[in-house]
């Protein structure tokens, strides 16, 4: 996975963390956050990611927002999903974009993740 990316270039930014939510078998969900930056194929890229998540478990949508990337023709799509699969089970090879795990892309006790994403790209 490539980690050097410019904010105003096509890319995928992601992170995950364990939640307090559990399924009927007592397993904790993992919350995944994805930001897809592109000019026209954001939905397609997100669809590839969701295929990975749904292959082994359900993917429960938590949030979805989009916005414009400052000083470019690109837009971003920010989504969060809960799933039971581990990050190493995701196949990133079909994304065909630079990919960066962003440890700051997380839920916060002060402020919120939506503000972090908006400030990152504005």
**Cβ-proximal residues to 118 (8 Å cutoff; 6+ apart), any chain:** 67
pLDDT at 48: 93
H helices of the chain, in order, are: 42-56, 113-121
Average confidence score pLDDT of the chain: 92
pLDDT at 3: 61
CA atoms 40, 43, 49, 52: torsion sign: negative
Secondary structure class of 16 (helix, strand, coil): strand
Segment 35-92, tens digit of pLDDT = 999 999 999 999 999 998 888 888 999 999 999 999 999 999 999 999 999 999 998 9
Cα–Cα distance for residue pair 122/109, rounded to 1 Å? 22
What proportion of the chain, given as a percentage, has pLDDT over 70? 98
Domain ranges of the chain: 11-121
């Amino acid at each position: 996975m490539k980690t050097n990316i410019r904010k105003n270039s096509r890319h995928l930014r992601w992170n995950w963390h364990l939640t307090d939510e559990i399924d009927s078998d007592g397993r904790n969900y993992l919350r995944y956050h994805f930001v897809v930056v592109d000019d026209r194929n954001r939905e397609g890229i997100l669809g590839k990611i969701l295929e990975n998540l749904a292959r082994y478990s359900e993917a429960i949508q938590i949030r979805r927002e989009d916005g414009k990337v400052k000083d470019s023709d690109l837009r971003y799509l920010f989504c969060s999903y809960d799933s039971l699969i581990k990050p190493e089970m995701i196949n990133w090879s079909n994304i065909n974009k630079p990919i960066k795990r962003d440890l700051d892309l997380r839920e916060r006790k002060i402020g919120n993740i939506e503000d972090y994403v908006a400030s990152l790209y504005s």
